[in-house]
Structure 1
Amino acid sequence: MDLTSLKWRKASSSTGNGGACVEVARPPGHIAVRDSKDPSGPYLLLTRDDFHHLTRTIKNL
């Protein structure tokens, strides 16, 4: 899947922290996640259900 034309977003609270953030984009039917410090590097491509499960799990740690 070509993700070059997607609009990547990161949290508005991620300012001046050295770039230690993740970015997300929304290709059709999926959520893509990448390291903001390495935008041309690897990324995770998750279904929306899997992404929601991941974020719920992280919030409950």
Structure 2
Amino acid sequence: MTELTGAVWRTSSRSNDQGLCVEVATNVVAEHGVVGVRDSKDPDGPALAVSPPGWAAFVTALRGGALRG
């Protein structure tokens, strides 16, 4: 399991104030080699550790509409 020590969490500038969003920590890539992702409603809960290429592919798919239901 990857420990995300030193992670600085942020939400999207497009997030609203309802707390229904994820937080991302990209500052841990250099030290841990991953992008951290967690639920903003549960900051002490589990976090995902995603590879930078995997995160980039996910963001690209979101922006392109490939994940719309």
The TM-score normalised by the length of structure 1 is: 0.79
Q: How big is each residue's C-alpha offset from its partner over 1:27-58, in whole Å with a ceiling of 9 and x where there is no partner?
A: 23211111100111122211110000011111
* Number of aligned residues: 60
Gaps of 5+ in 2: none
- Structure number with the higher strand fraction is 1
CA RMSD of aligned residues (A): 1.5
Gaps of 5+ in 1: none
- After superposition, residues 1-61 of structure 1 pair within 5 angstroms as 1-16=2-17, 18-26=18-26, 27=28, 28=30, 29-61=33-65
Identity of aligned residues (%): 38
The TM-score normalised by the length of structure 2 is: 0.72
